[in-house]
Chains A and B, each alone.
Chain A
């Protein structure tokens, strides 16, 4: 089990940031991902492997006023 935005979510072998975003239907173009506090740049989404019990935060990047 991992945490995604503070909520429990089932982990499976082979899970990457990209596959998680796809599963969770996080389709926004501007998105900020941190795994256990570490910032994962967009170019690393495909390769960054998520481990069981990881804490994942996904935030929108926004600056409108």
Chain B
């Protein structure tokens, strides 16, 4: 198919056909989620389930791909749905305008192959990790603050988020002081999308390591923490 011509041969035709069958849940349609959704729709993941309870605000415009001056005050999931349909109408989209809760998590994760954590607060991230663990689905985590991004892949049974968020009384991190920059969100989300595709295709990716990308110092480093 001509649409996917430039995916080949980095992605083989057999792998392309495999991607079409896969379903990914993206929780959060902001700075990270918008870019993850864009990458996954363009590469040809067949089914995207997107979740967010928020509407766009003016402060989102500095970095959130799906936001524009035309959709302020409107649903982020609706924007995600419209964007996917415009970019690749072959992708089947399910959009849920809701916050992730303990109650709705099992249904949202149902029959997904990979879950992407594109949230913006620690309690929701920990809730998603627990839900993915219970469902037995790998989780691709990403977070950003200023010039720095972090990514890790959490297989069911692993608990990497308790290493990243060891204190139970924090709801947010460094981003409260530093803000969040457009390119940091784009790079971090792109890395999340790449790890997602590798998981879908059974390829080797991040494995128990935490990747920290520092765009200010032009470095990236992987940490294995036990």
Q: Does B119 contact A (CB under 8 A)?
A: yes
Which of B4-12, B88-96, B144-152 lines the interface with chain A?
Answer: B144-152
Contacts of A28 in B (CB 8 A): 174, 177
Size of B's binding interface in residues, CB under 8 A: 38
Q: Does A41 contact B (CB under 8 A)?
A: yes
Closest Cβ of chain A to B45, distance in Å, is: 20
State the main secondary structure of chain A at its contact with B.
loop
Number of residue pairs A-B, CB distance < 8 angstroms: 88
Extra contacts, 4 of them, besides A5-B221, A65-B120 (Cβ < 8 A), are A62-B144, A63-B125, A64-B145, A65-B28
A62-B150, A65-B143 as given contacts; A30 in contact with B173, CB under 8 Å: yes
CB of A65 within 8 A of CB of B33, answer yes
Residues of B within 8 A of A (CB): 28, 30-33, 118-122, 125, 142-145, 148, 150, 163-167, 170-177, 180, 185, 210, 212, 221, 223, 225-226
